[in-house]
Structure 1
Amino acid sequence: MALTHLLLTFVVMFTSPVNSNTVSSDIIQPSAMPAQKGGSVQLSVQLTVQANETAFDDLDWLKDNTVVVVSYNFNNVNIHPSYKDRVYFNTGNYSLTLKNIQDADSGIYRARANGHSEYTIGLYNVTVGTSSHGSTTGSVSLTWIIFLFLLGVMMI
């Protein structure tokens, strides 16, 4: 029973949304974001005490830290040519919606706020699949949870 309680506590701690006061580029881990080919997915941000709306001058959504998908500086929105007509950037909440997703859209997407400092305010691992049947996402997530639990126990 104690092991079940400990495992449940671990799952809640590591699968709950990140506390908005603690998000930083040092501790944020990418959230798994499965997507279906041809479908769409919305990636949101979490503004923090350090990176709030008044503390940054511009915001970028990057793919794999190499392609700037969207660049926003409160005056205009610039979209990378390869994403033209396939993304929607919401200037109200800074979310990025990828539309008509293709295999090449798989990767790590990061929302980066720049001002006095640079902050990661959103991080997603988008994986594109063709079917939701027979997916191994659940078993992979459980494997990671167990691995992280065991790693945490070893560090205590």
Structure 2
Amino acid sequence: MSLKHLTLVVTFFSPLIAITVSSDIIQPSAIIVQKGHSVQLPVQKHAIETTFDHLDWLKDSSNFVVSYNVKANTVKKYPPFEERGDFNAGNYSLTLKNIQEEDSGLYTARTSGESEIIIGEYNVTVGTSSRGSTTGSVSLTWIIFLFLSRVMMI
């Protein structure tokens, strides 16, 4: 997969300035996980496409979960994920085990080196309900909404 780029050309009187902006913007994916279960967060963008020295998985943009030093091939885990977090250096995924309610948040995979690039982002919500599936209730809500919308249009 090759990177797509969007080139913006802006003119100010006589100078011509070209700015290259990556159009491969990662949008956070929503994940709902039941308390006590595990969740794997793979990278959403191939890290191979970029040169980087470090890869960090962060929670809520500021709390380190895992740091990976590519050159030294070392992994550092941070509390509270020292025992409950697994990092796969082969595919850069993060697995959170025995997930708890306080683990809900935005998880970001960020590379650094020549530039900083977001290669994965997940909005993880920990559910506590042991009854039924959230997906099932959302689907039923949509079916009812679509049915009522159709009835009101007649």
Aligned residue for 2:64?
A: 68
Q: Which SS does the other structure have where 2:80 is aligned?
A: helix
Greater radius of gyration (CA): 2
Aligned residue for 2:124?
A: 126
Q: Report if aligned partners of 2:54, 2:113 keep a CA contact under 8 Å in 1.
A: yes
Q: How many residues align?
A: 122
Q: Shift in Å at residue 135 of structure 1? A: 1.9
Distance 1:92 1:136, change over 3 A: closer
Distance 1:40 1:56, change over 3 A: same
Q: Which SS does the other structure have where 1:101 is aligned?
A: coil
| C-alpha distance after superposition, 1:92-130 (max 9, x if no partner) | 111000000000000000000111100000000100002
More strand by share: 2
Distance 1:120 1:25, change over 3 A: farther
Distance 1:73 1:126, change over 3 A: same
TM-score when normalising by structure 1: 0.67
Question: Percent same amino acid at aligned positions?
Answer: 58
* 1:71-150 equivalence runs, <5 A: 71-74=67-70, 75=72, 76-130=74-128, 131=130, 133=132, 135=134, 139=138
Q: Report if aligned partners of 2:34, 2:127 keep a CA contact under 8 Å in 1.
A: yes
Amino acid at match of 2:29: S
Structure 2 runs not aligned, ≥5 long: 6-21, 143-154
TM-score when normalising by structure 2: 0.68
More helix by share: 1
Q: Report if aligned partners of 2:3, 2:24 keep a CA contact under 8 Å in 1.
A: no
Structure 1 runs not aligned, ≥5 long: 1-18, 144-156
